[in-house]
Amino acid sequence: MMNENSDFLPIISDGNDEKLDNSKVPEILPILPLKNTVLFSGVIVPISVGRKKSLKLIKNVYKKDRLIGIITQKDAKVDDPQKDDLYQVGTLAQIIKVLEMPDNSTTVIIQGVKRFKIDEFVKEKPYFHAKVTELTDVLPPKSDDEFEALIGSLTDISIRIIEYSPHIPQEAIFALKNIENPRFLINFISSNSDIPPVEKQKLLEMDDLKERATLLLEHLTTEVQKLELKDDIQSKVKLDMDQQQKEYFLHQQMKAIQTELGDDPVDIEIEELRKKAKDKKWSKEVEDVFNKEIGKLQRTNSASPEYGNNINYLQTLVELPWNEYTKDNFDLKRAEKILDKDHFGLDKVKERILEHLAVLKLKGDLKAPIICLLGPPGVGKTSLGKSIARALDRKFARISLGGLHDESEIRGHRKTYIGAMPGRIIHNIKKVKSSNPVFILDEIDKVGNDFRGDPSSALLEVLDPEQNNTFYDNYLELEYDLSKVMFIATANSFGAINPALRDRMEIIDISGYLVEEKVEIAKRHLLPKQIKEHGLKKSDISVNKNILEKLIEFYTRESGVRQLDKELARLVRKTAKKVAFDEAYNIRVSEANLITMLGRQKFSKSSYQGNDYAGVVTGLAWTAVGGQILMIETSLSKGNSKLTLTGNLGNVMKESAVI
């Protein structure tokens, strides 16, 4: 096996230029294949010889003229190369010395002489012999300034590479500067450069010395760019490490100074917690737990993971609004005005909120109701919660329960676990800094359960007015009063709600809007909102009642107004584009340009026009967006005492047909 030995730096014997040029390439040469090594003329390299037939070749040739042909293998993984595994262009080499190493290996020092090309292999046993033709280097004229500049650039960039490479001895710079022959300089740099063997082989096969120098310069430029980038990265890393070490050293010094002055960071942190605790309106039980945890913190090493857990727990305790409430606004007319302004319709919900406010105003103390707004998507259930909070002057909190499977999301994690935190109920109470917010439990009908627990069961305590004044969070390990929180749940399907949860909530059904109601909602809320969000003025677009009705009937099919909002946004965007491009357009949206702006109608409207055909009966169907008629047909066929019903018929209709 033959490998390039990285312990040796290939050198050039510049004093034998004339001798090398006058050397003749024999017609028949013994061929020695090498792995990962391309030999150039004039370059001296050591190679390790391991194959038996290669050792035999070296032994036989060393006794004679010491001339061999060096050819590079195409694939270094091939241990026993055949003719097709070798390149066709190689270098005639002279064996200078054969060394027997202490580990019984053989090292051969060879020097490149001239290039040759294999014409044909004449012998394969015991090693390759080939008929070859000498290749001549094409030298540019001495007056070629471009070639001289190329040589100068090669020298300069090679020196830069050596300076960036600590593993290359600096004596190589001296060797470079003392090479006067440009051909040997190119060969020397080619041999030493960190270029893949495939690219080195391309350099070897090039006859024109100027072209060879140009390609070599391209490779060296790429290499120096990589080295500069690597050096830049290493400098930044070193700078960052130095900065980190400096900061660590300064922190340690500061800690030592603060300890001497009695200003230990741990003591400062504990003192800040104590100051916050003094202003808290918590019970004796909470105060005792706080003092106990503070004492434990003082005995804990600040480098311990337990210290971080204790700090987080104590910060949660002091940040929770224990018995801190926002003052309700009992101006009933104001509350009614806010609710009417924000939402059109929804009279049942508004009436229930005003009733609660009225009783609270008269009695002064009343447990908050647990309301569940039941209705299809897009009717304004979640946004209604925000309006209620605004009407009461309370803080607003919201969590989405859709897809919730883990009970600890509600009750929290045990504080002994790494990364433990309170449940989402307590977390949001802490976030809004009030113990009586309006709290939306969104999509309560989509709560799931699995091996991690049943969140629905955890919600039972939250939503029970008789129990939620002593809600227990696993992280706090204390009871927290949720009785003043106004919980408002939202759901789309009544049947999907856990029966035990249904029993604890006051269900208020919010049905879909009528067309007239949707028109009013669009005029009052949706269209002005879209105009504002798209940076237009009210005078830039006008949509009358008739167009809104067409939009609702032929472009939307829903109980709520979510799709209507999207279609209005499309209308406004089309207008915004025309305004931005200074195009002329009709401010008033008409039936004629409605299709141009929104495309063809998505839905059709059918009406009953009489039924005079035998075998056809008119059926009525119920949907979430209103009633529909169905034309049910019968056909006469040879009977088999069976009734076949086709189509997606409901059970009631099937029973009616059978009877």
Q: How confident is the model at residue 91 (pLDDT cuts 50, 70, 90)?
A: very high
Per-residue model confidence (pLDDT) at position 397: 93
Q: How confident is the model at residue 398 (pLDDT cuts 50, 70, 90)?
A: very high
Tokens coding 76: 């270094």
**pLDDT value at 240 more than 80:** no
DSSP 160-212: HHHHH-TTS-THHHHHHHT---HHHHHHHHHHHS---HHHHHHHHH--BHHHH
Compute the average pLDDT of residues 484-496.
88
Q: What is the DSSP letter of 495?
A: T
Per-residue model confidence (pLDDT) at position 321: 92
Q: Phi and psi (nearest 5°) for 614?
A: -75, 145
Single-letter amino acid code for the residue at 141: P
Read off the pLDDT of residues 322-336 as tens digits, 9 standing for 90 and up.
Answer: 989 998 888 888 988
**pLDDT value at 451 more than 70:** no
**Out of 2.30.130.40, 2.102.10.10, 3.40.50.720, 3.30.70.100, which CATH number does the structure's domain 11-135 have?**
2.30.130.40
Per-residue model confidence (pLDDT) at position 253: 72
Tokens coding 417: 């676990």
* 336 close to 354: Cβ distance less than 8 angstroms: yes
Residues of the chain with CATH 3.40.50.300: 332-509
How far is 242 from 235, CA to CA, in rounded Å? 10
Q: Where are the beta strands (DSSP E) in 258-414?
A: 371-374, 396-400
Asked if the bond preceding 126 is cis, omega within 30° of 0, the reply is: yes
**pLDDT value at 653 more than 90:** no
Read off the pLDDT of residues 624-637 as tens digits, 9 standing for 90 and up.
Answer: 666 777 777 777 77
Per-residue model confidence (pLDDT) at position 21: 63
Fold for 515-598, please state it. Answer: Helicase, Ruva Protein; domain 3 (1.10.8)
Per-residue model confidence (pLDDT) at position 450: 67
**Out of 3.40.50.12780, 2.30.30.140, 3.90.1640.10, 3.40.50.300, which CATH number does the structure's domain 332-509 have?**
3.40.50.300
Per-residue model confidence (pLDDT) at position 625: 67
Q: What is the dihedral of CA 247, 248, 250, 251, to 10 degrees?
A: 110
- Helix crossing, 182-192 with 209-261: angle to 10°? 50
Per-residue model confidence (pLDDT) at position 71: 92
Single-letter amino acid code for the residue at 116: F
**pLDDT value at 521 more than 90:** no
Residues of the chain with CATH 2.30.130.40: 11-135
Per-chain mean pLDDT for the chain: 83
CA 62 from chain center: how many Å? 64
How far is 624 from 159, CA to CA, in rounded Å? 81
Per-residue model confidence (pLDDT) at position 202: 92
Count Cβ atoms within 10 A of the Cβ of residue 203 and give its class: 0-12 exposed, 13-18 middle, 19 or more buried. buried
Tell if the pTM clears 0.95, that is, is over it. no
Q: Which helix (H) or strand (E) holds 441?
A: strand 438-442
Q: How confident is the model at residue 193 (pLDDT cuts 50, 70, 90)?
A: confident
Per-residue model confidence (pLDDT) at position 261: 62
Q: Phi and psi (nearest 5°) for 134?
A: -70, 140
| Residue spans of alpha helices (H) in 107-144 | none
Per-residue model confidence (pLDDT) at position 440: 92
**Considering the chain, what percentage of its residues have pLDDT values greater than 90?**
13
Helix (H, G, I), strand (E, B) or coil at 498: coil
Give the CA distances from residue 506 to residues 380, 448, 489, 503, in Å, rounded to whole numbers and listed in that order. Answer: 18, 21, 10, 8
Q: Which helix (H) or strand (E) holds 478?
A: strand 478-480
Least confident residue range of 157-171, 193-207, 217-231, 410-424: 157-171
Residues of the chain with CATH 1.10.8.60: 515-598
